[in-house]
Amino acid sequence: MKLRVAEVGIGGISGAHIPAWNRMEDVELVAICDIRPEKMDRFDGQIHARKYTDFDEMLEEETFDILDITLPTYMHADFAVKALNRGIHVVTEKPISLKKEDVARVYGAAEANGKNFMVAHVLRFWPEYMYLKNCMDTGRFGKLVSGTMTRIGSIPRSSWDGWMQDPARSGMVPFDLHIHDLDFLIYTMGKPEVEHIFHGMDYMHTIYNFGGVRIACESAWFHAPVQFRATFRMQFEKAVLDFDGSRMKICKDDWTAEDLDLNSSVEEGNYIPQSDGYYNELRYFADCVKEGKKPEIMKPQELEAVLDVIAQINAAK
Ligand SMILES: NC(=O)c1ccc[n+]([C@@H]2O[C@H](COP(=O)([O-])OP(=O)(O)OC[C@H]3O[C@@H](n4cnc5c(N)ncnc54)[C@H](O)[C@@H]3O)[C@@H](O)[C@H]2O)c1
- Closest to 36 (Cα-Cα) out of 17, 9, 57, 3: 9
Paired residues of 32 in beta bridges: 7, 51
Asked whether residue 140 is assigned to any structural domain, the reply reads yes
Q: Do residues 92 and 131 both lie within one domain?
A: no
Residue range 4-31: mean pLDDT, rounded: 97
Look at residue 144 and tell me if it is in a domain: yes
232: in domain: yes
Residues 113 and 135 reside in one and the same domain: no
Q: What is the best residue among 124, 160, 176 to mutate for testing ligand 1's pocket, by most ligand atoms within 8 Å of CB?
A: 160
Please give all residues whose beta carbon lies within 6 A of any atom in ligand 1, as ranges: 8-13, 33-36, 39, 55, 70-73, 93-94, 122, 159-160, 176
φ and ψ at 49, to 5 degrees? Answer: -70, 145
Distance separating alpha carbons of residues 68 and 185, to the nearest angstrom = 25
CA of 316 to the centre of ligand 1 (A): 28
Is-above-0.85 flag for pTM? Answer: yes
Give CA 109 to chain center in angstroms. Answer: 21
Mean pLDDT of 128-150: 96
Tens-digit pLDDT profile for residues 91-112: 999 999 999 999 999 999 999 9
DSSP H helical ranges for the chain: 14-23, 37-41, 55-61, 76-84, 101-113, 127-138, 167-170, 172-173, 179-189, 262-267, 277-291, 300-315
**CA 198, CA 185: separation in Å to the nearest integer?**
19
pLDDT of 144 reads 98
- What's the pLDDT score for residue 317? 80
Residue-wise pLDDT for 265-308, tens only, equals 666 666 777 789 999 999 999 999 999 999 999 999 999 999 99
pLDDT score, position 81 = 98
Q: Which domain holds residue 168?
A: 123-274
> Does 111 reside within a domain?
yes
* One domain for residues 158 and 38: no
Q: Say if 212 falls within a structural domain.
A: yes
CA of 195 to the centre of ligand 1 (A): 33
Residue 40 lies in a domain: yes
> Does the structure show a pLDDT above 70 at 227?
yes
Residue 171 lies in a domain: yes
Torsion of CA 205, 208, 212, 215, to 10 degrees: -50
Residues 149 and 71 in one domain: no
143: domain CATH number is 3.30.360.10
Banded model confidence at residue 263, pLDDT cuts 50, 70, 90: confident
Question: Same domain for 127 and 115?
Answer: no
Task: Assess whether 251 and 129 both reside in one domain.
Answer: yes
Pair (142, 30) in one structural domain:
no
Domain boundary among 120, 143, 172: 120
Give the Å distance between the CA of 257 and the centre of ligand 1.
40
Give the CATH number for residue 29: 3.40.50.720
191 within domain boundaries: yes
Domain count, the chain: 2
User: Which residue, among 294, 316, 277, has the nearest Cα to 94 in the 3D structure?
Assistant: 277
